[in-house]
Structure 1
Amino acid sequence: MSPIDSEWFYQKLDQGDKSLRDLARFMSLDPSAVSRMLKGERKMSADEQDDIAAFLGINLEEVAAHRRGKVFGFEETKQGSYDATGSLDTPPVKMFTKDDIVYKDGKRWMEKEDGTLIELHPAYGCMAGTITVMPGVDLTAPMDWEEEWGEKLYNE
């Protein structure tokens, strides 16, 4: 079964002076099913994850992160692990770029800081050059429906 951070879940129950039986009652489940779920012997559904977050009174993202056990980021691209609190204690590191690719034996590799090579997935870079974002365009900005696009989308 998939790993789960069981210790974290039991700590959260203890911190709130709540029991596994209280959680099972809240979720309308048998206590043994909840016990097996928190031990990783049974998968936790998305609805059960939501119920646990509501019962413990904590952020859903935090429950989701611990549901999967120790969570790693994309270490091969030098990205750190996921932090459910949303804060960055350390500044972000330089990400992997096409200049870091090592060509060897007809394959593409990336060199880690310790000198070991990681083979790149064949799909890496397959979308390069397929879209151009013009200077000054913010793709995260909300759309202004009063301008041209709103008119085109809904009135033509």
Structure 2
Amino acid sequence: MTTQHSPGLFRRLAHGSLVKQILVGLILGILLAWISKPAAEAVGLLGTLFVGALKAVAPILVLMLVMASIANHQHGQKTNIRPILFLYLLGTFSAALAAVIFSFAFPSTLHLSSSAGDISPPVQHCRSDARAGYEHGFQPH
């Protein structure tokens, strides 16, 4: 009689989908922050690095996917680009509209620490007239 070992939880998670791994990491991070805030802040660097890596890879990934899609396009093949363009324009317009609404809902002001009278203009180091060069021996050709 042979006994088969079922794969451990860690092995199943390591070979599972990235989404499940991210969810488990998120849950473990929340639990760690709930138990020990200093430990969570120390481990938080890993999360910051992960998010930074995602932000760095995402534009390159999108560029490669678009290039592959364009390269594999066959003449006469349906592209279904209209819904994609519509959603892109809708998302862009919605983001701009939300920015305008929130800028009116929560106006901000800029307080400068110095006034315009405190700032002196730059000093002019050369003469502005055409004869200034002749006084120092400059002769045009």
Is the pair's TM-score, using the shorter chain for normalization, greater than 0.5?
no
**Bigger relative contact order (CA 8 A; separation at least 6):** 1
Greater strand share, structure number: 1
Greater helix share, structure number: 2
Q: Answer with 1 or 2: which has the greater Rg.
A: 2
Using structure 1 for the length normalisation, give the TM-score: 0.27
Using structure 2 for the length normalisation, give the TM-score: 0.29
